[in-house]
Amino acid sequence: MIKRYFTKNDILLIAALLLLSGALMLVLLLSQKHGSTVVISVDGKDVKSFSLYEDTRFVIDGYHGGSNVLVIENGEAYLESASCPDKLCVNMGKISKVGQSIICLPNKVVIEIRGDSSEEEYDAVVG
């Protein structure tokens, strides 16, 4: 005799949760805004920024002599190469949406996508 592990209500609950999570994921993906600026920070200080709409190749001088090669093309930014041993930053892929970033911890390099300053929202106002 075959035991039943799921009741009808269990299956309905699982289906509802899957639909809800799929809808939430779709809303989050569609609400992301395409960025306009790539900002490079080394050791916590902004050192350079580029338009995301102009194809560029830039060598970043990282912390303690490390280096990364940033490439911007077709409205996306990515690290082509890095002097760090694990190359995790190179494998992070391409970014183009506001708030996305690529981080190279050994070289203390952060590449961040930002939008127009008029579009950016503040989390809090301190007075």
Q: Divide the 127 residues of the chain into consecutive groups of 10 and give the mean pLDDT of each group.
A: 78 95 89 90 94 94 92 96 94 93 95 75 55
For position 104, what pLDDT does the model report?
95
**Superfamily in which the 37-114 domain is placed by CATH:** N-utilization substance G protein NusG, insert domain (2.60.320.10)
Alpha-carbon span 106 to 59, nearest angstrom: 16
Q: Sign of dihedral through CA atoms 6, 9, 11, 13?
A: negative
Alpha-carbon span 15 to 97, nearest angstrom: 31
Single pTM value for the model? 0.70
